[in-house]
């Protein structure tokens, strides 16, 4: 079946999931909906967020004829999983979840779940492991950093490292990434907290997508897959990162736009740095 596999997220986070799926299914077509207009999801009211997410799924079903949906956003899973299954019962779905199970199975005693406010409040897996933690001799704590997803979208590494150091102060054995945006800062976390084991979900999700495609006999017969990236606002940072992550699927005109954006940023920062040097009378 040559219809595309659909992905939804609020920004670039779900692209880490798409990348993992594309490696296993290189001949499939994908359509990735980055809802940058409503990003970030984590601090929105549940009622408003549910309406947004269901509309996005409806768009992919009706306008892009997707054959399988990947909800590549933990907040969207926590808020809308039941309603998506109820409103689209014919559609095979894969939902990202915080990978707490492998962190517990590896016998980590003190586990930190880094997630959005809505995921912490609504995710059933987090609630389950918190409920059984004392009886099973391990501890689960949660942490919400309000602007972290936005910093990741904008690739602001200085501020990312700053907020991580300010907020993660206890000695944990493991950190579970409960937002797909956070997959992009695994290196930041590893450098700042070298003793922490890091758990993310992209490989497990990719394997689940492959399983559903094969068992539902939805495999395409293309010689080369394509990726369609849809955003609903002018977010240059998100568009640029997506282009660099999936270069072979992007047309030459979009490559030109991406490179022009990079050049403009380089010139801007070079001039800014030079101005600082002159002000400080550096040679």
3-class DSSP state of 134? coil
Q: What is the pLDDT of residue 167?
A: 96
Tell me, yes or no, if 73 is annotated catalytic: yes
Q: What is the pLDDT of residue 265?
A: 54
DSSP state for residue 4 in the 8-state scheme: P
Q: What is the pLDDT of residue 191?
A: 96
Please give the domain boundaries of the chain with CATH numbers for all domains.
5-96+203-259 (3.40.50.1860), 100-201 (3.40.50.1860)
pTM of the model as a whole: 0.85
* Interacting residues of 277 by C-beta distance below 8 A, sequence separation 6+: none
pLDDT digits (tens, 9 = 90+) for 129-151: 999 999 999 999 999 999 899 89
pLDDT higher than 60, residue 271: no
Tell me, yes or no, if 136 is annotated catalytic: no
Contact 18, 32 (CB under 8 A): yes
Marked catalytic residue, from 136, 179, 201, 277: 179
């Amino acid at each position: 079946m040559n219809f595309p596999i659909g992905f939804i997220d609020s920004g670039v986070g779900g692209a880490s999931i798409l990348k993992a799926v594309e490696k296993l299914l290189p001949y499939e077509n994908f359509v990735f909906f980055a809802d940058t207009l409503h990003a970030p999801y984590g601090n929105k009211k549940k009622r408003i967020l549910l309406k947004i997410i269901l509309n996005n799924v409806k768009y992919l079903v009706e306008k892009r004829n997707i054959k399988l949906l990947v909800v590549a956003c933990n907040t969207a899973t926590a808020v809308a999983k039941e309603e998506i299954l109820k409103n689209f019962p014919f559609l095979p779905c894969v939902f990202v979840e915080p990978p707490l199970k492998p962190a517990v199975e590896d016998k980590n005693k003190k586990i930190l779940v880094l997630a959005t406010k809505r995921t912490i409040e609504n995710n059933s897996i987090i609630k389950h492991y918190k409920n059984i933690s004392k009886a099973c001799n391990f501890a689960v704590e949660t942490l919400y950093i309000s602007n972290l997803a936005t910093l990741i979208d904008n690739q602001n590494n200085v501020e990312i490292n700053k907020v991580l150091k300010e907020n993660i102060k206890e000695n944990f054995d493991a950190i579970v990434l409960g937002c797909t945006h956070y997959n992009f800062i695994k290196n930041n976390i590893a450098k700042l907290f070298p003793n922490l084991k890091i758990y993310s979900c992209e490989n497990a999700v990719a394997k689940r997508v492959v399983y559903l495609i094969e068992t539902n006999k939805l495999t395409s017969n293309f010689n080369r897959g394509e990726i369609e990236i849809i955003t609903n606002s002018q977010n240059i940072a998100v568009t640029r990162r997506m282009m660099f992550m999936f270069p072979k699927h992007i047309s030459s005109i979009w490559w030109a736009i991406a490179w022009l954006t990079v050049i403009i940023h380089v010139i801007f920062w070079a001039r800014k740095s030079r101005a600082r040097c002159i002000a400080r009378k550096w040679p």
